[in-house]
Amino acid sequence: MKIAVSACLMGDNVRYDGSNKRNKELIRLLESHEIVRLCPEAMVFAIPHPPIELQHERVIDSAGYDHTEELEAACKECLKKIEGCDLVILKSRSPSCGSGEIYDGSFSGTLIKGNGLFAALCLSENYQVYTENDLKIIKDVLDRSL
């Protein structure tokens, strides 16, 4: 299978603070599949950069600057990169990649129901979208593809 994966989950240091969220179990599950690494935020922002969150469908950084148009353009570029992928695995809670749950835009750590910009775009294009919190489901999907 061809699988799109958030680069931070694969160990790339692309998060806002210059770190990653390497997920060894996910990497093991995907070792025999073709991986397309992506990070819409790394296409827009220098690493490190101020944290960003979605506020009323706008991408705002912790200093109050609006980056919506730039991140929307990066998400559209990432969508082109995942053409032909069988599923998409994204970083939970991210303002670009979060699926089902994101931070509320107050920079207080409060979570709300919702999707990041890229996750929403993938879902609108009928991709199967999962996060690193869905490892059991991802394993089942991969096992069924064999």
* Residues 69-125 pLDDT 10s: 999 999 999 999 999 999 999 999 999 999 999 999 999 999 999 999 999 999 999
Residue 25 has what pLDDT? 97
pTM > 0.75: yes or no: yes
Name 130's Cβ contacts closer than 8 Å, sequence gap at least 6.
87, 88, 89, 90, 99, 137, 138, 141
Q: Is the pLDDT of residue 146 over 80?
A: no
- Percent of the chain residues past pLDDT 70, beyond the cut: 100
Give the amino acid at 144: R
The arithmetic mean of pLDDT across residues 23-40, rounded, is 97
Q: Using a pLDDT cut of 90, give the percent of the chain over it.
A: 97
